[in-house]
Amino acid sequence: MTPTSLPESVSRGARAPVPPDASQAPGRRWLADFHPGWFGAVMGTAVIGIIAFANPGGFSPLATPMRDLAIGATALAAALLLVIGAPYLARWILYPRAAWADLGNPMVGPLHGTFPGAILVLAAAVAVVGPQIAPTGAVLVVVEVLAAIGIPLALAVSLVFAYLLFTLDLPDTSVVNGGWFIPPVVTIIVPVVLVPLLGQVGRPSARLLLFTGYAFWGVGFFLFLLVMGLLHDRLVTRPLPPAEMAPSLWIVLGPVGVGASALLRLAHAAPTVLGPKAAVIGTMTLVGAAVLWGFGAWWLLVAVALHGRYLRRGGVPFGIGWWALTFPLGALTLATVSLASAWSLPALGDAGLGLLAGLVVIWSIVAYRTVHALVDGTAWVRPGPPQAGAT
């Protein structure tokens, strides 16, 4: 049984149902079919700003260019969030049936998590880059507002998508895909956003925020383990996903990379809240983050190998899913840079610089193809359900 044989309420979500009046107005069809995965562009852009600000490798001649790249990427991510957010919200208002159909589809539903994901990654970028161009107080207000919007949405998406998966009559493991990692990774981003706010509240509130950060990390991490088991079984027992789903395999890097970075940031903030009790947390974090990074580095090699296989056997058709190549790689790059500092390993910092260079190249390619698709109109075409089969 393939994804195309899902119950009607599920399979229709791959191409959102459009009310009759929309089908008679081609100019508005793009809004009815607006893809929730567009926010991957925001996430993939904002993470470049966070990484560049850290100046991987610590090379002095690169300090100014990295700072400029960080500011530019963060500003562009903010602009993209506004541009993409407007039609996304308009679709929920004007075409709620189409939006709900997407959310209930195992292939498209998890991509709704990129909306709160984009808000939270932008908040993290603003927190580190913002003080370079604006007063710290104003920056923290922006971070607080973005956190107040993104955190409840992140929790809501993870709950709603899980509920739908538990209640829908799914055929078999063939519907499992890398997109299912998006709700977990979004909840793991939450502590990264909460840490900059710890110093702005009293000690009791800071303790609550730190506790909340660890709690959200736990939600995302255990969801990641559950989904990883499902994806592993699906890859072992079924044919590889169709070529258009190939980029989703890279999303595994997201929860791993953000998970390691979030642990390090929580541990760095813990002493101001927990005092001497935080010492053991710091040691455990160094080990835990390194373990997560190790699996992420291994999966990067797996993803590259599988992607090469797709390229040799017909290629990977362009789609919005190509943005899945950016943020996950950025998350692993950020973890690499953070671990280089935490472990005092210059070689790891150099590796982070190399990963950032590769990320910028991939981002440029995906951005170019996206602009080209927008110009010729193919970016608005919603494909039908992907066909299962060996690749």
Domain ranges of the chain: 7-380
pLDDT along the chain (391 residues), means of 10: 40 41 54 93 98 95 97 98 97 93 90 97 97 94 97 95 88 89 96 93 91 96 96 94 95 97 95 86 94 98 97 94 97 98 95 97 97 90 56 49
Q: Which residues contact 162 (CB under 8 A, 6 or more apart)?
A: 183, 223
CA-nearest of 229, 231, 92, 103 to 161 is 103
Interatomic CA distance for residues 141 and 233, integer angstroms: 44
Amino acid at 38: W
pLDDT of residue 238: 93
Q: Which two tokens stand for residue 140?
A: 């923290």
CA-nearest of 7, 5, 313, 319 to 174 is 5
177 phi, psi to nearest 5 deg:
-150, 170
> How wide is the angle at C-alpha 140 spanned by C-alphas 134 and 144, nearest 5°?
140
DSSP structure string for 191-219: HHHHGGGGGGS-HHHHHHHHHHHHHHHHH
What is the three-class DSSP state of 239? Answer: coil
Interatomic CA distance for residues 191 and 318, integer angstroms: 33
CATH topology of domain 7-380: Glycosyltransferase (1.50.10)
Q: pTM for the full model?
A: 0.91
pLDDT of residue 384: 57
